[in-house]
């Protein structure tokens, strides 16, 4: 432990008479020179899809194995880990048994041998994989971050969405999961559901050759975390209601439904693990009881709280009612920026959905809107991905035409990256 | 005669005592709290816990300033000062007192919103002036001379609040006072706070505003009607503060012939009831001064409460002193 958390609040606190909605961006930064958690504190589970589909093309399983081997090599000495293979069942392939083992030259070599022996056969039931990962991680006594990487190439065909939902409810908050889809036969919405529930990321690795570098980066990031299980605690006044709390950067993540009551008018939202130097933005929207013109109100108090209940940092969201329209109509650039980014993400997702459903009119309208927003906010990365799905005639007005032929990988890349956001004024 | 208690230490005192045997307090003089009201312990919602920044632990509202709503009551006179519905602070202040068997003095000051720490200016002014006036009532000094002394002392006290080199925004306020002793009343003023006399026979305004518009009307440059809409309608031509250049108040003295009420107020009230007849129309009858003051403030609040509102009401017995 030993990170300092700072909470900066960006908002226009002046509201017109009668206004009840208060919007603010909370920028949470972990600072200080705290060393990463002692290695014995961290735990890592690598979950590899070995369903039958991984056999074709043969490079797929080979790349997955190679990526897993790179991830194993990235584990620092002393970090406990396990490798799980998933089909319609789940099995720990290393270490034998159902526990974790500390990384060392010997255990890393043995784990890589076990990975090399993996064969692809069977179905896909990701909930079972997560349940096994949870059981394995439960044997870990350290206080550091618990992290898993889930690699799949297919769809969750051997359990129902309801079964998956129940599993996610059970294991959410117990460890974080970064999901990676290889190839183009998996469902973006399915992996997004898992990564959001498990406070992780989702991405497409269209070319299996890129897997190794991606696994190395994810494992390194997980190992860099210095504080695990930090909660964002929100106090709101009597008669107020949290409309939403969403992580707004570096990626979109809706935390609204993840609230657990922790006191009078106080609820905790999980934020997962933090590394020194890390900074995230959260968009908070609170509905309060409007007060008189001239009144000042604390609309919310946001605290970062350790698992032990220590307050690590705090910020205040204010509301002041005024009849001076010059004050109340001011726009907070931070709130506007993140509102725009969220709108860009939903325009992309809705556009792609409509396109899949054959509703060309809606798809054109929503993707056109996305092109316009990406253009206005300087999101050249997103604009490039959009241009592979639509033919852009005028980015300024969002005039586009749907492309007749779109590569699945391009469409899925656009979909998964739609939730990646930028900070204000950071390009 | 019933026994009374010392307002300072609650020791039993008799009505004839001039000083408290227990704590030495002057029992002949009663006055409002110097420095204004004490800090509120409760939030408007009833909450009693506040965080380090002064926000209510229940409803989140900022701890009410003790100045947001102030009520003082003494025998024969009372006052209410209210933040109103639009301003973030109450920059009006009031102070008053009575010397048993001699008379009463009251002062209302309205902080100039464009100046710095206007609420401090008005509080210092009322406290300083009412001290001078009560001393005069006690010693029987000429009330017009005392009013002049009170205004000059208040002006000097407010001037001392100014930051060097910031004359433009030096703390400033208006002023209106009343001294009622024996069968005469003296009203003094600087700026646009007003005094009205309300009796069974009718009502009268006792003050003329020290504003550019009022001056132009007096000189025949503007009609009353034009002045009301003129942007200079509220621009003061005289005030208290470091940059006032003040040589004294305007003042009137009159004999109190019949029972009635003297009403001192800031423009937060009279903006809604400019003419004496307007005041008379809404004035409740047969109730103590505090009820009159509350009702008048309520009228201003219901009319919009765009500014701070302060009303002090003094009972005039007519021929019997106060
Ligand atoms: Zn005493
Ligand atoms: Zn309260």
Residue A427 — very low, low, confident or very high, per pLDDT cuts 50/70/90?
Answer: very low
pLDDT tens digits in sequence order for chain B, 322 residues long: 456 788 778 888 887 888 888 888 888 899 998 998 877 778 888 888 999 888 999 999 998 888 999 999 999 999 999 999 888 889 999 999 999 889 999 999 999 988 889 999 999 999 999 999 999 999 999 999 999 999 999 999 999 999 988 888 899 999 999 999 988 999 999 999 999 999 888 899 999 999 988 888 888 888 888 887 777 777 899 999 999 999 999 999 999 988 999 999 999 999 999 999 999 999 999 999 999 999 999 999 999 999 999 999 999 987 544 4
- Alpha-carbon distance values, A186 to A86, A202, A231, A242, B251 (Å): 15, 12, 32, 34, 90
Could you read off the pLDDT of A34-87 as tens digits, one per residue?
A: 555 555 578 999 999 998 888 888 778 888 888 888 889 888 888 899 999 999
Strands (E), chain B: 4-5, 12-13, 29-31, 69-74, 77-82, 92-99, 103-110, 172-173, 175-181, 184-190, 194-199, 202-205, 240-241, 250-255, 260-265, 309-316
Do A288 and B58 make contact, defined as CB atoms within 8 angstroms? no
Q: CATH classification of A334-419 is 1.20.120.1690, yes or no?
A: yes
Find, in chain B, the residue whose alpha carbon is nearest to that of A300: B60
pLDDT for B64: 82
> Quick one: CA torsion of A301, A302, A307, A312, rounded to 10 degrees?
-100
Do A237 and B61 make contact, defined as CB atoms within 8 angstroms? yes
Q: Which fold has domain A4-34+228-323?
A: Immunoglobulin-like (2.60.40)
A204-213 burial: b if 16+ Cβ within 10 Å, else e: bbbebebbbe
Contact residues on chain A for B62, CB-CB shorter than 8 A: 295-298
Which of B58, B60, B87 shows the shortest C-beta gap to A294? B87
Cβ–Cβ contact A381 with B under 8 A: no
> Can you tell me whether residue B96 is helix, strand or coil?
strand
Q: Give the gap in angstroms from C-alpha A30 to the nearest C-alpha of chain B.
A: 24
Do B86 and A323 make contact, defined as CB atoms within 8 angstroms? yes
Could you read off the pLDDT of A275-286 as tens digits, one per residue?
A: 888 899 999 999
Ligand nearest to the CA of B5: 1
Q: Give the gap in angstroms from C-alpha B264 to the nearest C-alpha of chain A.
A: 25
Ligand nearest to the CA of B25: 1
Strands (E), A183-265: 202-205, 225-235, 241-249, 253-254, 260-263
Do A296 and B88 make contact, defined as CB atoms within 8 angstroms? yes
Cis omega (within 30 of 0) on the bond before A119? Answer: no
How far does residue B128's CA lie from ligand 1's centre (Å)? Answer: 23
Which of B58, B59, B86 shows the shortest C-beta gap to A293? B86
Contact residues on chain B for A289, CB-CB shorter than 8 A: 59
- Give phi and psi for A27, each to the nearest 5: -100, 115
Q: What is the pTM of this model?
A: 0.78
Do B60 and A316 make contact, defined as CB atoms within 8 angstroms? no
CA B227 to chain centre: 26
Do B59 and A289 make contact, defined as CB atoms within 8 angstroms? yes
* Nearest partner of A294 among B65, B122, B169, B172, judged by Cα: B65
What ranges do the domains of chain A cover?
4-34+228-323, 39-223, 334-419
Q: Give the gap in angstroms from C-alpha B91 to the nearest C-alpha of chain A.
A: 13
Do A296 and B83 make contact, defined as CB atoms within 8 angstroms? no
Could you read off the pLDDT of A308-317 as tens digits, one per residue?
A: 888 989 999 9
pLDDT for A426: 53
pLDDT for A323: 87
Q: How many CB pairs under 8 A join A and B?
A: 47
How far does residue B16's CA lie from ligand 1's centre (Å)? Answer: 14
pLDDT for A292: 87
pLDDT for B321: 40
**Cβ of A22: how many Cβ atoms within 10 Å?**
24
Contact residues on chain A for B88, CB-CB shorter than 8 A: 294, 296, 320
How far does residue A286's CA lie from ligand 1's centre (Å)? Answer: 53
Scanning A290-319 for CB atoms below 8 A from B yields: 291-299, 301, 316
Q: Which fold has domain A39-223?
A: Rossmann fold (3.40.50)
Q: What is the mean pLDDT of residues A220-231?
A: 83
């Amino acid at each position: 432990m030993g990170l300092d958390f700072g909470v900066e609040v960006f908002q226009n606190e002046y509201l017109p008479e009668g206004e009840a909605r208060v919007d603010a961006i909370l920028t949470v930064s972990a600072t200080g020179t705290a060393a990463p958690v002692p290695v014995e504190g961290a735990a890592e589970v690598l979950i590899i899809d070995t369903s039958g589909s991984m056999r074709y093309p043969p490079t797929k399983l080979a790349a997955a194995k190679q990526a897993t081997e790179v991830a194993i090599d990235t584990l620092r000495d002393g970090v406990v880990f396990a490798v799980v293979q998933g089909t319609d069942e789940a099995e720990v392939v290393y270490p034998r048994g159902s526990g974790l083992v500390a990384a060392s030259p010997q255990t890393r070599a043995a784990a890589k041998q076990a990975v090399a022996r993996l064969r692809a056969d069977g179905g896909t039931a990701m909930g079972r994989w997560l349940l096994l990962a949870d059981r394995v991680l439960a044997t870990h006594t350290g206080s550091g971050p618990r992290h898993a990487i889930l690699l799949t190439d297919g769809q969750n065909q051997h359990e129902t969405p309801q079964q998956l939902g129940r599993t996610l409810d059970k294991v959410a908050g117990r460890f974080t999961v970064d999901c990676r889809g290889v190839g183009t036969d998996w469902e973006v919405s399915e992996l997004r559901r898992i990564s959001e529930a498990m406070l992780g990321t989702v991405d497409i690795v269209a070319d299996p050759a890129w897997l190794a570098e991606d696994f190395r980066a994810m494992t390194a990031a997980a190992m860099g975390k210095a504080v695990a299980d930090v909660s964002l605690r929100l106090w709101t006044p009597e008669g107020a209601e949290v409309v939403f709390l969403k992580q707004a950067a570096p990626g979109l993540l809706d935390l609204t439904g993840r609230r657990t009551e922790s006191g009078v008018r106080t609820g905790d939202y999980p934020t997962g693990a933090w590394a020194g130097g890390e900074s995230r933005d959260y968009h908070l929207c609170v509905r309060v009881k409007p007060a008189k013109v001239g009144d000042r109100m604390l609309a919310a108090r946001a605290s970062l709280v350790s698992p032990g209940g220590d307050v690590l940092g705090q910020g205040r969201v204010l509301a002041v009612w005024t009849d001076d329209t010059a004050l109340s109509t001011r726009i907070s650039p931070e709130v506007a920026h993140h509102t725009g980014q969220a709108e860009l993400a939903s325009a992309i997702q809705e556009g792609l959905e409509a396109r899949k459903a054959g509703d060309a009119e809606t798809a054109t309208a929503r993707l056109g809107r996305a092109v316009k927003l990406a253009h206005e906010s300087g999101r050249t990365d997103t604009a490039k991905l959009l241009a592979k799905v639509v033919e852009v005639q005028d980015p300024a007005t969002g005039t586009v035409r749907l492309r007749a032929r779109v590569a699945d990988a391009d469409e899925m890349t656009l979909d998964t990256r739609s939730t990646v956001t930028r900070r204000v004024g950071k390009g | 005669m019933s026994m009374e208690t010392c307002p300072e230490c609650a020791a039993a005192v008799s009505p004839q005592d001039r000083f408290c045997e227990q704590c030495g307090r002057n029992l002949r003089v009663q006055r409002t709290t110097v420095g204004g009201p004490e800090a509120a312990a409760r939030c408007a919602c009833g909450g009693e816990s506040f965080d380090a920044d002064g926000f209510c632990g229940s409803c989140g509202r900022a701890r009410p300033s003790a100045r947001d709503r102030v009520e003082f009551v003494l025998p024969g006179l009372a006052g209410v000062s209210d933040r109103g519905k639009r301003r973030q602070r109450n920059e009006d202040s009031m102070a008053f007192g009575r010397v048993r068997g001699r008379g009463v003095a009251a002062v209302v000051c309205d902080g100039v919103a464009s100046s710095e720490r206007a609420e401090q200016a008005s509080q210092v002014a009322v406290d300083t002036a009412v001290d001078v006036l009560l001393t005069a009532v006690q010693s029987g000094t000429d009330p017009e001379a005392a009013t002049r002394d009170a205004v000059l002392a208040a002006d000097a006290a407010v001037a001392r609040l100014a930051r060097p080199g910031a004359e433009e925004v030096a703390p400033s306020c208006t002023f209106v006072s009343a001294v009622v002793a024996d069968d005469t009343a003296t009203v003094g003023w600087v700026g646009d706070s007003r005094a009205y006399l309300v009796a069974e026979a009718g009502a009268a305004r006792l003050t003329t505003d020290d504003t550019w518009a009022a001056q132009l009307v007096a000189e025949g440059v503007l009609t009353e009607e034009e002045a009301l809409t003129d942007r200079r309608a509220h621009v003061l031509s005289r005030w208290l503060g470091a940059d006032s250049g003040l040589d004294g108040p305007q003042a009137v003295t009159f004999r109190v012939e019949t029972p009635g009420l003297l009403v001192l107020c800031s423009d937060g009230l009279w903006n809604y009831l400019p003419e004496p007849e307007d005041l008379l129309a809404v004035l409740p009858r047969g109730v103590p001064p505090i009820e009159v003051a509350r009702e008048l403030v309520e009228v201003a609040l219901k009319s919009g409460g765009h500014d701070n509102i302060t009303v002090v009401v003094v009972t005039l017995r007519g021929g019997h002193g106060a």
